[in-house]
């Protein structure tokens, strides 16, 4: 139950104020009308403490929040609960950030808006695939089935991404350790060896002299290295924002040893899983390809899929359309 502050007018045209408890804003208005009160203003009373409300402004909706929301909503809709009732319940079972989203969606639905349009106002939380599937489910009257498929797909995606991250942890640790060892050797070990060789007056090989030179430069001009590093990083970031830069970077990222083939497999897995989900939910093959192209995290794959969608529209088989590109095995 929720509490609402209201301002209303009686039959005698007297203005009254008070509070009413109800499951939703619509039910609160109906309760007041049954008491012959004409509602002028109705506001939901926030049940969260002030410091939590302030904290909520800085919290972001996490992917796991969306997974939990979708699974719970699918279960309740399948059990026969009305959408508004299910959303009212979920509001109290979500994180602070997600609660705000659910409240806004509930308000839109209670006001007569469609569920898909209400979700579309939070495009940073619900991606285009999610919104397209919900819209398709609403139109076909199979929202419960679509939600179940979405929940299954989101859980599989989360599990797959977790496995991918775990697989990358070991190479990342090794790489970081190698960098740390190189810095320690250059800053602490090599200078001591240099002074030792100098005392003996030994003739050093070329490679050793190069290493000593690098070590001396790192010690004496570390601020220059830091400046060049920051400037280079910023320049790379700006370059990747350009069309040609993004294309070149995405092409390069697929050819990096170990990481390139792994990234290719990740992208292909996401594309095929999403495409299958869209088609199973009643979305046309052309529309599904266009949606997937917009979600692909690589411009090479995105451009290839957009081209394939146009070819399929002309009657070309999908396998033939995408078979022209080497990044599709």
- pLDDT tens digits for range 162-199: 888 888 888 889 989 998 998 888 888 888 877 777 77
Percent of the chain with pLDDT over 90: 19
The mean pLDDT of 130-156, rounded to a whole number, is 87
Query: In the predicted model, what is the mean pLDDT of the chain?
Result: 85
Give the model's pLDDT for residue 58.
54
The mean pLDDT of 90-108, rounded to a whole number, is 85
The mean pLDDT of 291-297, rounded to a whole number, is 84
The mean pLDDT of 34-50, rounded to a whole number, is 74
Give the model's pLDDT for residue 50.
53
Distance in angstroms (rounded) separating the CA atoms of residues 164 and 177: 21
pTM over 0.75: no
Q: Does residue 115 have a pLDDT over 90?
A: yes
Q: Give the class (CATH, top level) of 59-220.
A: mainly alpha
Q: Find the Cα–Cα–Cα–Cα dihedral 201, 206, 207, 213, rounded to 10°.
A: 70
Q: Does residue 52 have a pLDDT over 60?
A: no
Token pair 């790379």 is at which residue? 236
- Residue 40: in which H helix or E strand, if any? strand 38-44
Give the model's pLDDT for residue 105.
92
């Amino acid at each position: 139950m929720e509490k609402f502050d209201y301002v209303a007018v009686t039959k005698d045209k007297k203005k009254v104020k008070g509070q009413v408890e109800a499951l939703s804003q619509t039910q609160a208005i109906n309760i007041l009308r049954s008491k012959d009160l004409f509602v002028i203003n109705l506001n939901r009373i926030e049940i969260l403490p002030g410091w939590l409300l302030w904290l909520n402004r800085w919290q972001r909706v996490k992917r796991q929040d969306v997974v939990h929301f979708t699974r719970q909503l699918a279960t309740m809709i399948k059990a026969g609960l009305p959408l508004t009732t299910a959303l009212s319940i979920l509001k109290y079972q979500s994180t602070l950030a997600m609660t705000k989203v659910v409240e806004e969606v509930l308000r839109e639905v209670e006001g007569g808006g469609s569920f898909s349009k209400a979700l579309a106002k939070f495009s940073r939380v619900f991606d285009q695939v999610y919104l397209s599937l919900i819209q398709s489910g609403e139109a076909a009257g199979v929202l419960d089935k679509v939600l179940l498929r979405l929940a299954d797909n989101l859980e599989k995606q989360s599990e797959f991404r977790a496995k991918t991250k775990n697989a990358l942890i070991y190479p990342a640790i090794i790489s970081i350790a190698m960098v740390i060892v190189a810095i320690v050797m250059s800053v602490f070990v090599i200078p001591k060896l240099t002074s030792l060789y100098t005392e003996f007056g030994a003739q050093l090989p070329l490679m050793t002299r190069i290493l000593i030179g690098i070590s001396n430069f790192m010690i004496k001009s570390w601020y220059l290295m830091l400046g060049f590093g920051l400037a280079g990083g910023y320049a790379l970031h700006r370059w990747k924002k350009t069309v040609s830069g993004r294309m070149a970077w995405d092409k390069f990222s697929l050819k990096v040893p170990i990481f390139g083939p792994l990234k290719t497999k990740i992208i292909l897995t996401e594309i095929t899983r999403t495409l299958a989900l869209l088609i199973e939910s009643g979305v046309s093959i052309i529309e599904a390809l266009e949606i997937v192209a917009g979600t692909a995290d690589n411009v090479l794959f995105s451009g290839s899929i957009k081209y394939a969608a146009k070819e399929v529209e002309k009657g070309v088989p999908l396998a033939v359309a995408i078979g022209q590109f080497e990044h599709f095995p």
